[in-house]
Amino acid sequence: MRATFVLGRIAGVRVGVHWSVLFIFGIIALGLSQGRLPETYPGRAWAVYWAAGLCTAVVFFASLLAHELAHAVVARRNAVEVDDIVLWLLGGAARLKSEASSPGAELRIAGVGPLVSLLLGGLFALGAWLLDLVSASGIMVEMAAWLAGINVLLAVFNAVPAAPLDGGRLLRAFLWWRTGDRLRATAGATAAGRVFGWLLVALGLIAFITRGAFGGLWLALIGWFLIGAATVEGRQAHLRGVLAGVPVRAAMTPEPLTVPADTTVTGFLTDVRYRYRHSAFPVTDDGSPVGLVTLDGARRVPQDEARAVMVREVMVPLSQTIVVGPDSPLADLLPRMEPGAEHRVLVVEHGRLVGIVSLSDVSRTVTWLMNTASGRRDGR
């Protein structure tokens, strides 16, 4: 899940927001301002309800951010680097560059999120009680009470032992500790995630069919998401097992063709070297990699401007590109990769570009490894 726009950095972690956040933000603000608040405290101006609903929605997403930041901070303390945090339709996700090194580290990273949400729920409950004690506005009390309830619900839901929820990570840590096999532990957690997802889908559809409750459709949607996410996680775990011990250099395209940063867009598009080979090329400046340019990105420049626009102006800068070393584990790189030419991975050693990796490169490597393993089994 890529961020539509970046908010900035908090505690050194890049924080982004996906456009789908607007959907759930609108649902929360609308539900509070036109439903719960007017029903509980009627007679106020519509502007008061809307202001309260919008403020509550903002604080709710701040709570989600605190939940994900807790994961990120604890991950870093356990030597696991964090790519970024993205808030989206069904909550948030902290993307880790690698996996925990031990069951204990996995337990700490996964467990801190629900603990933070539970703590926030308690603080908001205390705030609601204090506001009521001093006879504050009933709407303010209701806002704090709603935030208390939703944070406790978030903590409880995330603690369910099913991947990809935090509880699924806790289950994996336990199974990893018991069996000593991280891949078997992941398989168990993802199987639990699929079972839980199908249970939510069934309950949601039953609620909708028997009672006409549209909340049932939302429950079914969450279940469907969990099934898909757990399936993807299980597939990635299998691939990580296949790629265990394989370095990035085994999959990369070595010594890729590069584009000088001061090349014009017209020069780039008309140069026969770049026409048929690939859809993305590393950009260099004085021999050092500075970014990645795609043919699609260059073609978006109007023809009457392309002669004056330089490749460095349309490239994906190095800061937004995944950069790894040739001896980095390929299995750790896999979860960070995404489809699309703009998501190619640059392989750099001692400041010099030595290769480039795409998902198709990884796929070819996996196919070769699996065929080799199959051939060895058949030859016994």
Q: Which residues are catalytic?
A: 68
Q: What CA–CA distance (Å, rounded) separates 343 from 358?
A: 8
3-state secondary structure of 18: coil
Nearest by Cα to 121 from 159, 83, 168, 171: 159
Whether omega for the bond prior to residue 326 falls within 30 degrees of 0, making it cis, is: no
3-state secondary structure of 3: coil
Q: What CA–CA distance (Å, rounded) separates 345 from 353?
A: 11
Q: Judging by DSSP bridges, how do beta strands 82-88 and 13-17 pair with one another? A: parallel
Only one residue has tokens 């690698």, namely 98
Q: SS3 helix, strand, coil % of the chain, rounded to 5? A: 60, 15, 20
Q: What CA–CA distance (Å, rounded) separates 321 from 345?
A: 7
**Residue 306 neighbours by CB under 8 Å, 6+ apart:** 264, 265, 266, 269, 298
Q: What CA–CA distance (Å, rounded) separates 375 from 119?
A: 54
Question: Long-range contacts: 126-134, Cβ < 8 Å, 24+?
Answer: none
**Residue 15 neighbours by CB under 8 Å, 6+ apart:** 6, 7, 8, 9, 65, 84, 85, 86, 87
Contact 206, 216 (CB under 8 A): yes
Q: What CA–CA distance (Å, rounded) separates 282 from 73?
A: 32
Contact 322, 345 (CB under 8 A): yes
Neighbours of 164 (CB within 10 A): 20
Nearest by Cα to 297 from 306, 289, 288: 306
